[in-house]
Chain A
Amino acid sequence: MTDTSSQARLTVWFGGGLVLLALVMFGALLFGAFTISAGDVVAWMFGGDTADTAAQRVLTSIRLPRVLAAAVFGSALGSVGVVLQGTYRSPLADAHLLGYSSAAGAGAAIGFAVTPVAAFPVVPVAFAVVAGAAFGISTAALRTRAGSERLILAGVAFGFALLAWTGLFVLIVDSPRVPTFMFFVFGSLSGATWKGLTVATVVLVPAMFALWRYGPGLDLLVLGDREARTLGFDTRRLIPTVVALVGVVVGASVVLGGVVGFVGLVVPFLLRPIVGPRHRILIPAAAIGGAIAVVMADTLARTVAAPSEIPLGLITAAVGGPFLGWLLLRGTRT
């Protein structure tokens, strides 16, 4: 395949992905416990209807921040999955499985406990980011000694322990400021507000951009530490920086939507055969794919049992779990 044709193919995939994301987000705006017609949504989007109706207020202050939060959250989960899989050279590496999400969740829980409900969640984000980054750096330090299978198992163990400690903390503090334990197990975007979205995005976007800039380094890491070093990459410096950034992204995203699994595993798995293994391409592709997946999953979460809600992570695990299992057992990859 020539360079230009693969370039064109990628442009089509990315363009198609962005169009699909826009469609899915528009669709998500149409559904909710509050019934709003598609015509009203369009009128609201293009400012044709300036009346301050209840429908408009629901769209502006509840549904729009929620759909945007779902997209941002999903793009974080997808891109972080790609980066960890590259760093650990395993398609099973994932923020959820390796314990990053639980570590960030523990930090967020403590941060929430000291933050007033209606305030900007800056302290939870700060705590979660520090916890996520510290967790990443400390487990990455063990990476060279343990193989990736062991590392994943260790991550599962650390993750469960951190989840248990978070649960103990949530139950003992028993404060309306701290989300329920369910939030730290199966996640939810039901608390999405402009304030939370603002704080998370301000931290997420530069960190995700920085990870994207490390793409070529991650490409070399896939070859092996020694090979990467031969080619001039200082892996002893690259890996801690990358995992710290992953911790930052996971930390900011946990405050937005809690702990949600499988997006970071399934989305990269699906996209790698389509866009190829290069991280400069794969990271943004997984960001778009993750956003599409989470916006769809969250729309289900808030409509299936309306006016009640289903935790987001239940949907991603219920759909993503068996799907990933099937992909792995199909044996296209080892």
Chain B
Amino acid sequence: MTRPFPLVGLSITVALLTLALSGCSDSESEDTPAQVEDTPAEAAVFVGADGIVVDSPDTSRIVTLSGDLTEFVYELGLGESVVATDVTTVAPDEAVLLPKAGLGRFLTAEGVLKHDPTLVIADTQTSPASTIEQIRSAGVPVAVLEVPTTFDGLYGKVTSLGLLLGAADAARELADRLKREIVTASAGSDDGSSTLRIAYVYTRGPDVMLLFGEGMTTTPVIEAAGGLDAGVDAGVEGNVPVTPEALAAAAPDVLIVPEEGYEVLGGIEGLLAIPGVAATPAGRNRAVFAYPEGDFLTFGPRIAASIDLLAKDLRSLPTVP
């Protein structure tokens, strides 16, 4: 009769051993970013949001994995080096024509590497995260940027990209320009009496309706244009599926929706048919603005134009009761 008990013991021992070993590797990988943070900012080395340093990369073939990153790289003068982007890239025109390295959430390592990049620029929303690890294991550096949700964060992102791409001066100029544009765009509306409740509802059609709140890039734009983010005010964190109750709690005076989804819904009539929409002040007054998704949701160098557009549209509204 066979007695393979030693083998059972062996596999358990091996599992425990490897567990013990992992303790070491975990602490190692947590040490690295801590050490990196100790280096002064003047050291001029790019430190990713994931703690990984990318020092003086070869910028001859760049793949950008988010629309705002594409636009910033072009603004910093390295547009010629961009060889592929992702599907969220809507500007500039020459970048839109470039091959696509993958499809958003289902990014694959080979889909990116087939463009033979020397540098991949991603952000903390790039997913799946294992793809980033695989690209790195193929010897291609991946710079991971923060996804800012404030204007200060946006300027910081420009500075980080300047550091990464060896374009610190261009980055400083771009950040200054952005600051000026944003101040100008919000000048007419920034009177401190932000009582107009504005909600951003993301939609792709009747099946996907999300109310945006805390931690989304739409909040600073709404506030700069002189509004109060109704989603944030109603306590929404991130985004939540639109329900009649969530809409009632937000009670928006104005709804902003992506133009693409608005058309799929069939315009204002389709939107008002969504349960709960018609009962909001915005629904009753038909105060709905539809902006192209790639413009309003790209927290990048064109953001001042979105503020400007929203502020103008708000001024054109009849006085809200």
Contacts and interface: CB of A to CB of B under 8 A. Distances in A.
Nearest to B139: A57
Given A116-B30, A129-B15, A213-B7, A306 B139 contact: no
A147 interface: no
A61 interface: yes
Interface stretch (A28-36, A39-47, A93-101, A263-271): A28-36
A176 interface: yes
Given A176-B124, A244-B8, A307-B101, A119 B22 contact: yes
Interface stretch (B109-117, B170-178, B246-254, B268-276): B109-117
Contact of A216 (B2, B15, B18, B21): B2
A314 interface: no
Given A34-B114, A216-B2, A203 B138 contact: no
A125 interface: yes
A214 interface: yes
B30 A210 contact: no
Interface stretch (B128-136, B221-229, B281-289, B301-309): B128-136
Contacts of A206: 7, 10-11, 14
A168 interface: no
Interface string B91-134: 00000000011110110111111101000000010011111111
Contact of B138 (A58, A117, A217): A58
A308 B108 contact: yes
Nearest to B16: A126
Nearest to B20: A122
B25 interface: yes
In this complex, the member of A207, A232, A302 whose beta carbon has the largest number of chain B beta carbons within 10 angstroms is: A207
A16 interface: no
A15 interface: no
Contacts of B43: none
Interface in A201-217: 202-203, 206-207, 209-210, 213-214, 216-217
A190 B21 contact: no
A200 to B, nearest CB: 10
A122 B11 contact: no
Interface centre among A126, A191, A214, by most B CB within 10 Å? A191
Nearest to A52: B139
Nearest to B84: A307
A58 B137 CA distance: 9
A302 B137 CA distance: 19
Which of B11, B29, B112, B131 has its CB near the most chain A CB atoms (within 10 A)? B11
B37 interface: no
A199 interface: yes
B130 A117 contact: yes
A292 to B, nearest CB: 22
Contacts of A115: 22, 26
A115 B29 CA distance: 10
Nearest to B238: A174
Contact of B106 (A57, A177, A309): A309
A122 B110 contact: no
B41 interface: no
Contact of A307 (B1, B2, B110): B110
Nearest to A241: B8
A80 B273 CA distance: 52
B19 interface: yes
Contacts of A306: 108, 110-111
A233 interface: yes
Nearest to A210: B7
A191 B249 CA distance: 41
A207 B234 CA distance: 53
A62 B113 contact: yes
A180, A210, A233, A306: which has the most chain B beta carbons within 10 Å? A210
B192 interface: no
A194 B14 CA distance: 18
A179 interface: yes
Contact of B21 (A122, A177, A209): A122
21 contacts: A54-B113, A54-B138, A58-B109, A61-B134, A62-B109, A115-B26, A117-B130, A118-B136, A122-B18, A122-B21, A176-B127, A194-B137, A207-B7, A207-B11, A210-B10, A217-B1, A302-B108, A306-B108, A307-B100, A307-B102, A308-B111
Given A57-B138, A199-B18, 4 more contacts: A122-B22, A129-B15, A210-B10, A308-B106
Shortest beta-carbon contacts, A-B, top 10: A307-B111, A122-B22, A191-B130, A210-B7, A213-B4, A33-B110, A34-B114, A206-B11, A176-B129, A61-B137
